[in-house]
Amino acid sequence: MVSVGIVGASGFTGAELLRLLAGHPAADVRYATADTQAGTAPGALYPSLLAAYPDLTLERFDASHADGLDVVFLGLPHQASMAVAPEVVGRVGCVVDLSAAFRLKDAALYPRWYGFDHDQPELLAAAVYGLPEQHRKDLVGARLIATPGCYVTAATLALAPLLEAGLIGRSGLIVDAASGVSGAGRAPSPTNAFCTVDEDFVAYGLLDHRHTPEIEQNLCAEVLFTPHLAPMNRGILATCYARPAVGQSLSTAIVLDALRSAYADEPFVFAIDGAPSTKATAGSNAAHVTARYDERTGYVLALCALDNLTKGASGGALQAANVALGLDETAGLPRVGMAP
């Protein structure tokens, strides 16, 4: 069995990790922390977890309690993860961070986009970006993994194959993406209250959302990113626009074939003919992508739907951990959504 710890297990990503790990044939969750909920059972916060963890109690964080574990997931705010990671790396086999603390390779970007100075340059340089579809070989044996952002995962899966095939240009890309309310986290606020989000659809982070530099880092491209908050619990739908690369004569068949070729052997990414749907991927680690070429306007359209808590966070983290630890990459990860 693989011994597992979760630091920050009371939030939505922590609860999603516990849900997925309950179905993992090789995982044994031995340590779970939540400083504000210490002494509480996960099932008391999330009754859906009662059957899987009848004897697990959330603890206050103590790095020494993680000693010798095979993998520890960090489900903490960005700066908290940056502070905790040095205490845990080296004590355990692999640390998988779900925050943005180790995603951006250029430390100079953190003050502008995240509002803090990065003070762990060695760990930042050593961290492996946790998107197996792009970095599978690098993930094998990784000691520190930076789990991608949810919007970033969707945009990257939709656009990267088209860029790598030289079909679309690297300037002026547009990503419009809508997320469910769980993307804002468990803590209540005026912006995620029921009366605020119900029957509403709103853009936010105009021109300055913090996932922008991460998308650009992944795609090596200039991107205009606009996120939206949709009145649903979970899910992301990213709709992306690009111009053909210079000299390319495109068709829908060409761009669809590029996606099918790129993901033919991937266990979780499916290139489909129809329009991707958040409901179709809900609760699963699947991502559904498609593409079109519009001869009338000359634009390429690429779309991706995924579950922001699963493939976009905890599922993606577990997938990367499986690769790092030499386990079956699909272990504990459903590929079938919960529709209807």
* Catalytic residue positions, numbered: 150
- What is the number of helices (H) and of strands (E) in the chain? 12, 13
**Strands laid side by side in the 27-33 sheet:** 27-33, 2-7, 71-74, 94-97, 144-146, 128-129
Closest to 53 in 3D by CA, of 77, 75, 28:
28
Q: Are 305 and 278 in contact (CB under 8 A)?
A: yes
Q: Maximum CA pair distance of the chain?
A: 63
What are 330's two structure tokens? Answer: 């699909």
18 C-beta neighbours (distance < 10 Å), count = 27
Amino acid at 59: E
Give the chain's end-to-end CA distance (angstroms, integer): 34
Nearest to 4 by CA among 93, 130, 107: 93
Q: Are strands 299-306 and 287-294 parallel, antiparallel or unpaired?
A: antiparallel
Q: How far is C-alpha 257 from the geometric centre of its chain's CA atoms?
A: 25
Q: Which amino acid is located at 301 in the chain?
A: L
How would you write 152-213 as a 3-class SS string? HHHHHHHHHHHHHCCCECCCCEEEEEEECHHHHCCCCCCCCCHHHHCCCCEECCCCCCCCHH
- Distance separating alpha carbons of residues 291 and 261, to the nearest angstrom: 13
d(CA 1, CA 222): 44
Q: Compute the distance between CA of residue 27 and CA of residue 3 in angstroms, rounded to an integer.
A: 6
As a whole number of angstroms, the distance between CA 157 and CA 72 comes to 26
Task: Identify the residue whose tokens are 């290139």.
Answer: 271
